[in-house]
Amino acid sequence: MAAEFGKRLALTPTPIPGLIVVDLPVHGDRRGWFKENWQREKLGALGLADFGPVQNNISFNDAAGTTRGIHAEPWDKWVSVATGRIFGAWVDLREGSTFGTVFTAEIDPSRAIFVPRGVGNAYQTLEPDTAYTYLVNDHWSPDAEYSFLNLADETVAIPWPVPLSEAEISDKDRHHPRLTEAVPVTPRKVLVVGAGGQVGRALRAEYAGDQSIEFTTRAELDLTMPFSDSRRWRDYGTIINASAYTDVDGAEKPEGRVAAWAANVTGTAALAKVAAENNITLVHISSDYVFDGSIDRGYTEDDAVSPLSVYGQTKAAGDAVVSTVPRHYIIRTSWVIGEGANFVRTMVALAERGVDPRVVDDQIGRLTFTSDIARGIRHLLTTGAEYGVYNLTGSGRPQSWAEVARAVFALTGHDPSRITPVSTEEYFAAAAAAVAPRPRNSVLELGKIEATGFRPTATADSLARLLSS
């Protein structure tokens, strides 16, 4: 056996992004040898994330020179050798600047390689009775889409140890296309759920023209109904859940309570199950209403939740469900302003109609514009930031609702003194229906997301831009 005994477990990157050569410790004596062929915890500690293998295949080859064609599969792959030696050739067939990049290496029992989705891989046996084994993180499906490259392509010019004229090759592999005709493998898709809402519309604008993004509205995928969907989920890399029940006061009513739990918890749990089972990153929009607003500082991502209202309870429960998904981002935000009805537009309408409103002045927070939420989500996904909870609001000095109202009046040329500040109790004293309790302090600290390189837009700038458009 050509395997080297006594190696340390080590990862070596290659010119193809994500393609990693792994040295495996092999322990041997006169009886033979032993190795840990895949060890999740140890590999994870070195930086190779668990890719979620679901199937183990073995390819046995009788003769040296048996050559398997260059196939790019729609799944990740861990390839190692059980006995014998192989020459491996890998060609990046993914859409992008590294398309056509080549890497070759010999693989024996003391070496393995991690092959990411979309990288074409081919193997030629160098000894008789060679068997190699591979783990994959998806089951074979007739709907799976592959890309292929001809073994003899002159552009990549793979130096096969056994000339192809002498190798054992299937007819199909001999007739695959040259690089100029190979179909690039597109990235895993992103599914935006709730694309008809305020955040969903902002995501449409943020990802305009990106063909890898799919948008679905409640009419197409209603999370309040028993969840059933025929999508091939392994083709998706990310689900962004922009769907939610947001009628804070309505959730206090019997029918609203049912609807809020159905959308914010049961529906979210269905998405979480899909994401966990298919190694999908789940992005979920949370709320300041998971807190009771009783502390005298801004809330951090690590503060314990303590919701006051039914709506807040459903958002906290949804967050807990999403936190069990291995790859998740929970975006905690407050006082959301986007397309459609919102506080700012209400104040503009009142100012223009000559109404002098009474506005609460004992609830403190920051406005969050949906364009910033969409931009922040894209930033976290693009940079591969650490999974977890991130506060995301506008930046700048926290304000009361009354202060925001005065700013709206001033920016639209109206007298801000027309705003009468009142307490929350005074404002809702005459309410005919059930009113949800609000957190008095909705300020969210932004240090964690800023540490990733994201800069939230100043609330004052976003407000001025909205009212000048």
Predicted model pTM = 0.86
Based on the fold, state whether residues 362 and 301 are members of the same structural domain: yes
Alpha-carbon dihedral sign for residues 449, 455, 461, 466:
negative
What average pLDDT is seen over the chain?
91
Q: Measured between alpha carbons, how far is 395 from 438 in angstroms, rounded to an integer?
A: 21
Q: What is the pLDDT of residue 1?
A: 46
Based on the fold, state whether residues 207 and 346 are members of the same structural domain: yes
**Residue 343 burial (10 A CB sphere; 0-12, 13-18, 19+):** middle
Based on the fold, state whether residues 242 and 150 are members of the same structural domain: no
Q: What stretches of 323-414 show up as alpha helix (H) in DSSP? A: 343-352, 370-383, 401-411
Provide the pLDDT confidence category of residue 306 given band limits of 50, 70 and 90.
very high
Based on the fold, state whether residues 177 and 198 are members of the same structural domain: no
Based on the fold, state whether residues 215 and 309 are members of the same structural domain: yes
Q: Measured between alpha carbons, how far is 138 from 118 in angstroms, rounded to an integer?
A: 13
Q: Measured between alpha carbons, how far is 181 from 39 in angstroms, rounded to an integer?
A: 38
Residues 199, 372 contacting (CB under 8 angstroms): no
Based on the fold, state whether residues 279 and 341 are members of the same structural domain: yes
Task: For residue 5, tell me if it sits in a domain.
Answer: no
Task: For residue 131, tell me if it sits in a domain.
Answer: yes
If you ran DSSP here, which 8-state letter would residue 168 be given?
B
Q: What is the pLDDT of residue 426?
A: 87
Based on the fold, state whether residues 158 and 277 are members of the same structural domain: no
- Give CA 303 to chain center in angstroms: 24
Task: For residue 3, tell me if it sits in a domain.
Answer: no
Take residue 440 and report the two structure tokens written for it.
């008095």
Based on the fold, state whether residues 327 and 243 are members of the same structural domain: yes
Q: Which of the listed residues 147, 181, 215 is the one where a domain comes to its end?
A: 181
Q: Measured between alpha carbons, how far is 230 from 228 in angstroms, rounded to an integer?
A: 7
Return the percentage of the chain with pLDDT > 70, whole number. Answer: 97
Task: For residue 2, tell me if it sits in a domain.
Answer: no
Q: What is the pLDDT of residue 144?
A: 78
Q: Measured between alpha carbons, how far is 179 from 182 in angstroms, rounded to an integer?
A: 5
pLDDT at 3 over 70: no
Q: What is the pLDDT of residue 228?
A: 61
Based on the fold, state whether residues 145 and 215 are members of the same structural domain: no
Element (H, E) at 255: helix 254-261
Q: Measured between alpha carbons, how far is 271 from 447 in angstroms, rounded to an integer?
A: 29
SS3 state at 386: coil
Residues 287, 245 contacting (CB under 8 angstroms): no
- 27 noted as active-site residue: no
Based on the fold, state whether residues 421 and 454 are members of the same structural domain: yes
pLDDT at 2 over 60: no
Residues 288-301, mean pLDDT to the nearest whole number = 95
Number of domains, the chain: 2
Residues 293, 438 contacting (CB under 8 angstroms): yes
Element (H, E) at 69: strand 67-72
The CATH number of residue 383's host domain is 3.40.50.720
Domain containing 51 equals: 10-181
Of 114-118, 392-396, 422-426, give the lowest mean pLDDT range.
422-426
The CATH number of residue 63's host domain is 2.60.120.10
pLDDT at 280 over 50: yes
152-156-157 Cα angle (round to 5): 55
pLDDT at 226 over 80: no
User: What are the residues whose beta carbons fall under 8 Å from the beta carbon of 194, sequence distance 6 or more?
Assistant: 200, 216, 217, 218, 223, 241, 242, 243, 244
Take residue 147 and report the two structure tokens written for it.
């890309």
Provide the pLDDT confidence category of residue 234 given band limits of 50, 70 and 90.
confident
Residues 411-435, mean pLDDT to the nearest whole number = 86
Task: For residue 1, tell me if it sits in a domain.
Answer: no
Residues 372, 396 contacting (CB under 8 angstroms): no
Task: For residue 20, tell me if it sits in a domain.
Answer: yes
pLDDT at 135 over 50: yes
Provide the pLDDT confidence category of residue 365 given band limits of 50, 70 and 90.
very high
**Residue 339 burial (10 A CB sphere; 0-12, 13-18, 19+):** middle
Task: For residue 4, tell me if it sits in a domain.
Answer: no
- The string of pLDDT tens digits covering residues 164-178 is 999 999 999 999 999
Q: Measured between alpha carbons, how far is 78 from 135 in angstroms, rounded to an integer?
A: 5
Q: Which of the listed residues 181, 197, 231 is the one where a domain comes to its end?
A: 181
Q: Which of the listed residues 159, 181, 203 is the one where a domain comes to its end?
A: 181
Based on the fold, state whether residues 155 and 277 are members of the same structural domain: no
- The string of pLDDT tens digits covering residues 41-82 is 999 999 998 888 989 999 999 899 999 999 999 999 999 999
Q: Measured between alpha carbons, how far is 315 from 288 in angstroms, rounded to an integer?
A: 9
- 123 noted as active-site residue: no
Provide the pLDDT confidence category of residue 4 given band limits of 50, 70 and 90.
low
Based on the fold, state whether residues 165 and 195 are members of the same structural domain: no
Task: For residue 439, tell me if it sits in a domain.
Answer: yes
Q: Which of the residues 123, 132, 134, 311 is marked catalytic?
A: 134
Q: Measured between alpha carbons, how far is 158 from 90 in angstroms, rounded to an integer?
A: 9
Nearest Cα to 408, choosing from 370, 374, 367, 372? 367
